[in-house]
Amino acid sequence: MNIDRMEFISWMERIIERFDLMSAHINELEKKRGSVDGEELLDNQDILQMLKISSRSLQRYRSSGRLPYYTISGKIYYKLSDVHQFIRESFNLRMPKTYDSQ
């Protein structure tokens, strides 16, 4: 299959236009993504994938108060800093304590 130079350029221009549209759409989605006090909010699905846990475990962490959450329009969100703190605390709980031999 042979195409001439002008047809090739036309195809490339259409592809670039599509990429520009996709880029604009992605930027809009990023703006819509929730934030509180300038901090990113994550939903249940984000947390389940990030921590690789079950929805029941996530519910247990919420209920016990180990992982703070916020309800906005009936949907549950988590601040990214709270999730990081939860991970640090969970990691510290599992680390064996070291004792100085003094």
| CATH code of 61's domain | 1.10.1660
Amino acid 40 reads E
- The helix-helix angle for 44-51 and 80-94 (nearest 10°) equals 30
Structural domain for 53, as ranges: 35-95
102 belongs to a structural domain? no
Say if CB 78 and CB 41 are below 8 A apart.
yes
The answer to whether residues 74 and 26 belong to one domain is no
Residues 1-31: pLDDT tens digits? 678 899 999 999 999 999 999 999 887 776 6
- What pLDDT, in 10s, does the model give residues 29-65? 766 667 777 788 999 999 999 999 999 999 999 999 9
Q: pTM for the complete prediction? A: 0.59
Co-location of 65 and 90 in the same domain: yes
Positive or negative: CA dihedral 80, 82, 84, 87: negative
Give yes or no: residues 25 and 63 share one domain: no
Same-domain pairing of 39 and 28: no
